[in-house]
Amino acid sequence: MIEAGADIRTEEFLLNMGPQHPATHGVLRLVVRTDGELVLDCECHIGYLHRCFEKCAEGNPYTSVIPYTDRMDYLAAMCNNQSFSLAVEKLAKIEVTDRARWMRMATVELQRIASHLMAVGTYGLDVGAITAFLHCFRERERILDLFEEMSGQRLNYSYIVPGGVLYDWPDDMPKKIENFCDQMEVRIREYNDLLSGNGIFIKRTADIGVLPADVAIAWGCTGPVLRGSGIKRDLRKDRPYEFYDQVEFDVPVGRGLHGTLGDCWDRYWVRVQEMSESIKIIRQSISKYSTSTGKYLTTPANKQLRPPKGEAVYHTTENPRGELGYYVVSDGEPIPYRVKARAPSFCNVAVLPEISRGTMVADLVAILGSLDIVLGEIDR
């Protein structure tokens, strides 16, 4: 037995979490310096899933780059397609019809819901709530069914391309999407019953991994990670693209409802609320699509594009994980001279050491899960 008043000596220990650890959400390696169960510091080691995206993009025609974008954030492939297509359209001055734009908006908002379902479901799994994971996957499968009918694929779609979308919608697609929205509104209330107000879930996430607004801004955090800290920034509102300035929706932000503003629970809550806002956008987009005209694709998918020499663009979109940007430079050839991708997960995961110091090892799993990273775009 240890006598009362005796000195208890502790010793620091380096703990490798990953790159095979399931809680790292991919092949991420965290080297954690601990004192018992206390996290003193951690380092993020990346590079285990290098996609070589930028160099591949500089060796293929513009339209052939689209499949490579799928494989960056593979949980939001439609959004990646859209972001790069918008950059190329701006560079090559390609016009897109209203009909194709409304189709794109409905599609990427469905993708946002699918991505957030994965984030919420796996986050519940991280902290021990298995039921929510199974329920979220049920709805995500329904979205993938819609995507399969649109594009023939269930993960890497290559569907949104410069000039519009690759295939027209079947006649009954708008009705199927509306039916899904009706069902999803009911399911969101179910997720709130399972997780949002669950006492155990709140204890695992409230007041954990608090990210102050000034720290989030300093580290370049975007998306739900930034909005969870109370910053109301969303490119769909601040710098509208497509027709986001013609639809009504709100931008949810963290409010510290169960703990400190900017904690893990707030980041989770923002994603849950964003699914409801995406449903609003989808309904409005479907309504506008039904009355719009024009082709679904104005530029043949296999056409070689030759943007003017010396032109360069940088275009950003609001992806499920934050601001995704593409910098594309043309030298007049059908292959881009330079492509640079700004990946939101890369910046978001960089803040992990800042908000994990002084927490417990078990809390580190909850903090990392609240950032909702995808290694495919971190190691782009």
- CATH number assigned to the domain comprising residue 324: 1.10.645.10
pLDDT band, residue 1 (cuts 50/70/90): very low
Q: Quick check: 249 pLDDT over 50? A: yes
CA 334, CA 75: separation in Å to the nearest integer? 29
Q: Quick check: 3 pLDDT over 70? A: no
For 36-185, where are the E strands, in sequence order? 38-45, 160-161, 164-165
Instruction: Classify residue 10: in a domain, yes or no.
Output: no
Instruction: Classify residue 183: in a domain, yes or no.
Output: yes
Instruction: Classify residue 119: in a domain, yes or no.
Output: yes
Q: Quick check: 340 pLDDT over 60? A: yes
Q: What's the total number of domains in the chain?
A: 1
Q: CB under 8 Å to 298, separation ≥6 — which residues?
A: 94, 95, 96, 97, 100, 163, 164
DSSP-derived letter for residue 10 is: -
Q: Give me the pLDDT at residue 5, please.
A: 54
Q: Give me the pLDDT at residue 378, please.
A: 92
Q: Average pLDDT of 11-32?
A: 87
Q: Average pLDDT of 360-380?
A: 92
Instruction: Classify residue 34: in a domain, yes or no.
Output: no
Amino acid identity, position 240: P
pLDDT band, residue 194 (cuts 50/70/90): confident
DSSP-derived letter for residue 72 is: T
Instruction: Classify residue 198: in a domain, yes or no.
Output: yes
Which single residue is written with the structure tokens 């893990």?
A: 264
Task: Record the tokens describing residue 30, joined without a space.
Answer: 């965290």
CA 111, CA 213: separation in Å to the nearest integer? 27
Instruction: Classify residue 261: in a domain, yes or no.
Output: yes
Contact 379, 51 (CB under 8 A): yes
Instruction: Classify residue 139: in a domain, yes or no.
Output: yes
The mean pLDDT of the chain is: 93
Task: Record the tokens describing residue 375, joined without a space.
Answer: 């290694």
Q: Give me the pLDDT at residue 300, please.
A: 86
Instruction: Classify residue 208: in a domain, yes or no.
Output: yes
Q: Quick check: 4 pLDDT over 60? A: no
Weakest mean pLDDT among 10-14, 166-170, 250-254, 273-277: 10-14
- Cα-Cα-Cα-Cα dihedral of 345, 351, 356, 362, to 10°? 0
Q: Quick check: 303 pLDDT over 90? A: no
Q: Average pLDDT of 68-77?
A: 94
Q: Give me the pLDDT at residue 7, please.
A: 62
> Which burial class, exposed, middle or buried, applies to 20 when counting CB atoms under 10 A from its CB (0-12, 13-18, 19+)?
exposed
Q: Average pLDDT of 159-169?
A: 96
Q: CB under 8 Å to 145, separation ≥6 — which residues?
A: none
Q: b/e per residue, 149-188, with b = 16+ CB within 10 A?
A: ebbeeeebbbbbbbbbbbeebeeebbeebeebbeebeebb
Contact 372, 321 (CB under 8 A): yes
Half-sphere exposure of 312 (CA within 13 A, CB side): 7
What proportion of the chain, given as a percentage, has pLDDT over 90? Answer: 81
Q: Quick check: 30 pLDDT over 50? A: yes
pLDDT band, residue 223 (cuts 50/70/90): very high
Q: Which domain holds residue 200?
A: 53-355
Q: CB under 8 Å to 214, separation ≥6 — which residues?
A: none
Q: Average pLDDT of 345-366?
A: 93
Q: Average pLDDT of 224-231?
A: 97
Q: Quick check: 2 pLDDT over 90? A: no
